[in-house]
Structures are given as structure tokens and as C-alpha cells.
Structure 1
């Protein structure tokens, strides 16, 4: 998910010292279910532990190709990490300190922060600037780098991640969540059923329309509507994308192949006002559903 003036995967030294002044304090717990809890990473070591989780999932499990410096450090790291907040899920049943207990993570970038630096990560794949410009009164939040360790890919872990996102959005008065969501592999045709379902049923239109950047979009309209079995299409989708759809999300026009990460990406757009009332009630209108 960067503006053309900023290369997100350039070689950089894996140090996060600039985060200490921002995240050196303790962070409040945003949600808790059993031994699991979610909050923002509070210091450099916790951020690096989240980056190590991302490395395990993206590189060791999915085969992503990162810059040499990141591969040597065994951290999924890029320059956006310095300006983002890092949501983490912690399992207190694991021995060790908090950095040893991190089992899931999400990277959060607010519009006001992106505007002060080099824009949004997803702008390297999708033309998000016109979308944002059409909504000058709304504050956007980019969600990215979502990953969960295999033993924790359960409903309650996902609920905590969404509780964290929800609480964070309410705290900062944010109006729209968006970001890249991925299908495995670099051949969109392998996901013809799911991509066609998204194109015919969840395409962002009007003021929410957004397309791929730089002519890199791949056709998502791979099957006619009458050939798309909705149930089978939903079953074939990654859980993250299904979760977005349940909340009321839309997708942009065209998929983008990310060869470095070995994925086919779609842009998800979720205005908070569009989130189903039953989910607002479930997570808590005041973000307290899982906070105690």
C-alpha cells in the first residue's frame, strides 16, 4: 500500500529510535478477551517485535521478497514504520515480557500524519489522492500490514484487532478507514470468482470511486454476474476481506499485483458511517465493548 516521490521498500537500517519520543509512554489497553489484549505498541522493542511477526508471516510463510537490510535483520520494515502507530495483540499466557507475547499486529496511519510526511503507503498502488480530495471534511485512516500468527487466527483475535481499530478511530475522530487487502499469488485469474463478486457487488462508486495508480490495475470483472455464485465467492475470500465486507466496506476498481509480496491487492474503503449498526453496537459506540 506511497506517493511516487517516496519508495516504500527502499533499503533502510532497521532502527526505530525516532519512535521513542512518540511511543515511549505506556499505552492504555483498548480491548481484552481472556488472556489476549490489544493496545498500541509502547516502545521501540515492541515495534520491532511486531516487525518480526510480520517477517515470519510475510517472508517465512508467504515468501515475500524484502530489501536485503530487512532480510538480514529478519524484520519486515520500511520507512512508514517511523510515522505509523502499531496496534498489537498480546497473549499474557506466554512467558516473557510484552515483546515476547505479541501474536498479531496492524499498522495505522492517520491522514494528518501522512500529510506531514510522504503520503499514504497505498498510494503506490491506488490513486487515493482524488478520493481523499472529494471528502475534504473527512479524516482518513489507512490500515495496513495486518498479520496474525497461525495459532491465533481465530475469531477472538480478529475481534480484538477490530476493537483496537474502532477505539483508535473514535479517539482521533476519524471518518474513513481504507487500505490494501490481499489475495495470495500474483495471478488475479486464480481468484476470478471472488474478484468478480467484489466488482459486481461491492464496487466503490460516485464520490467513493477509486482506481489503480499508473495504469497498473488488472481487470476484476472476470466473470459475468449471472455466473458468480455468491456463497462460493465468499468462501473463497481471505478472512480479512470477508470481515471488511461484513462491516460494510467497498472496493476500488481494479486489482494490483504486488510481486515483492507475492499478492494480488484490492483497495478497501470503509466509511465509518457505513458500518452496520449491529457491529457498532457489538464493539461499543464508546469503544468499551472489550476494554474491561
Structure 2
């Protein structure tokens, strides 16, 4: 199923095991330095989105969606392994978890990211999703490198108290509790992962702590976007790409 086509790129849903294997191989190159394919048990229950270069047939980007009927099902999510999401159980509308987002490390065309977000918008609109969420990752596990970025998250982007995830993982960096200084906005934006920057532009919010994932060599924060609260101008831009 084609979700979106623009110029030399097209986004579609995986059609079978071979497509999923291709996504897992790309994730291995992006997340594990090509040592092996990246696989887990969630792959079998997710919809996988592939962004391909139509000229070469090359897979340049992939990510996956886990659909949930409401917050009552959030315990099934990947993120629930690392965060206490019990407050979000009260969220009444359909949700989708976006995960394993990656772009081929050798590809640097900004149109890939634009098409990926257009495909995400088409999927979210098509499924009537009211909350988009996932784990946004910082490369490496040294939180000091990202002190301005984390200070920005504390100052401007923490989740509302009614949804705020609690600590569940054993190894976390509690940046909202630990940081006391004002952020340098320029430095913070430079160190913010592109995926997380896009979430924040949509009005997204984050957990008050980062999980230290030494297996994946990342720090990640839980990130949520309430679709109804995305700024109108941003919605128009996303839907213009998706349309």
C-alpha cells in the first residue's frame, strides 16, 4: 500500500516478511553499525513503513507503527518496558507508537525526512489517531554532551502532569531534577535529535527523565504529541506534504 509519493521517493507499508527483513537490515546499519540486523518481538505486531528511492529501488528510511485502541492498551507498547505509563491509561482515544525510525547513514537528502513525516501524517489521519508517541533517542550515553538540550526540554517541553511518565527503568538520567541552569537555546537545538525537534515543533512533550540504554548506546526520552493540540499552521504544512 503506497502511503505517499513525491519526486524520486515513495513511502509504502511493508507487504510481507522480505520487506520487514529489509527494514531490520537498515536498522542494523543505522543502530548497530551494520554488525547485524536489528530485530525484536514488536516487529511481528507492527505496521512497517518503508521509504524507497524510486530511481535505484534503495531503501533509504524506515519506521514502524504499533496501533492501540486507547490508553488502556498502552502497557503493550515498546515504551512501556522503560517507562511507567500508568497515567496515560486514562487517555481515551486511539494511539499509535512510532518506533525504530532511521535513515540510511549514507543518505543526507532532506526530502527523505520530509516524505517520512508526510507518510506519518497520512497514516495518523487515516487511522484517526489522537496521540502519537514514542522514544526519541540521543546518540551515546553521556548526558553531559546534551546538557543544553535537556535544559531546554525541562524549561519548555515537559509533559502535562496528568500524562507525565514515571520512572521504571533502573538506569535513568533525571534531567528535570538535576539541571538548574538556563539553557543556551542555540547549543540546545544543535544537540537535539532531528526526530525530537520535529516532535517539539508539533507541540510535543517529553518525560522528565531520560532512559540510559547501554545495549543500543542511546539516551532516550518518552515523547508524546496530542494530535488535537498541534498548532494549526504546523498541521497545514504536514497535511500539504501528506496530500
Deviation at 1:122, TM superposition (A): 0.7
Checking the alignment, whether the CA contact within 8 Å between 2:53 and 2:59 is kept in structure 1 is: yes
- Residues 1-292 of structure 1 mapped to structure 2, 5 A cutoff: 27=1, 29-60=2-33, 74-94=36-56, 101-112=58-69, 119-131=76-88, 133-135=89-91, 137-214=92-169, 216-221=171-176, 222-225=178-181, 227-284=182-239, 289-291=241-243
CA distance in structure 2 between the aligned counterparts of 1:163 and 1:178, rounded to whole angstroms: 16
Encode CA deviations 1:98-148: one digit per residue, 9 max, x unaligned. xxx2110011101149978971011111112321x221x211111110000
Deviation at 1:190, TM superposition (A): 2.4
2:192 alignment partner, SS class: coil
Q: Which runs of 5+ in 1 are unaligned?
A: 1-26, 62-70, 96-100
Checking the alignment, whether the CA contact within 8 Å between 2:70 and 2:93 is kept in structure 1 is: no
Worse-superposed segment, 157-166 or 81-90:
157-166
1:207 alignment partner, SS class: coil
Change in CA separation of 1:90 and 1:179 when aligned onto 2, cut-off 3 Å: same
Change in CA separation of 1:220 and 1:154 when aligned onto 2, cut-off 3 Å: farther
Runs of 4+ in 1 over 4 A off after TM superposition: 113-118
Aligned length: 242
Deviation at 1:206, TM superposition (A): 2.4
Pair member with larger Rg = 1
1:138 alignment partner, SS class: coil
Encode CA deviations 1:128-184: one digit per residue, 9 max, x unaligned. 2321x221x211111110000124333211111111111111111110001101111
Deviation at 1:187, TM superposition (A): 2.1
Change in CA separation of 1:114 and 1:175 when aligned onto 2, cut-off 3 Å: closer
Change in CA separation of 1:167 and 1:58 when aligned onto 2, cut-off 3 Å: same
CA distance in structure 1 between the aligned counterparts of 2:70 and 2:93, rounded to whole angstroms: 14
Change in CA separation of 1:282 and 1:116 when aligned onto 2, cut-off 3 Å: closer
Encode CA deviations 1:67-112: one digit per residue, 9 max, x unaligned. xxxx6xx3211111000000110101115xxxxx211001110114
Normalised by the length of structure 1, the TM-score is 0.77
CA distance in structure 2 between the aligned counterparts of 1:207 and 1:113, rounded to whole angstroms: 16
Q: Which runs of 5+ in 2 are unaligned?
A: none
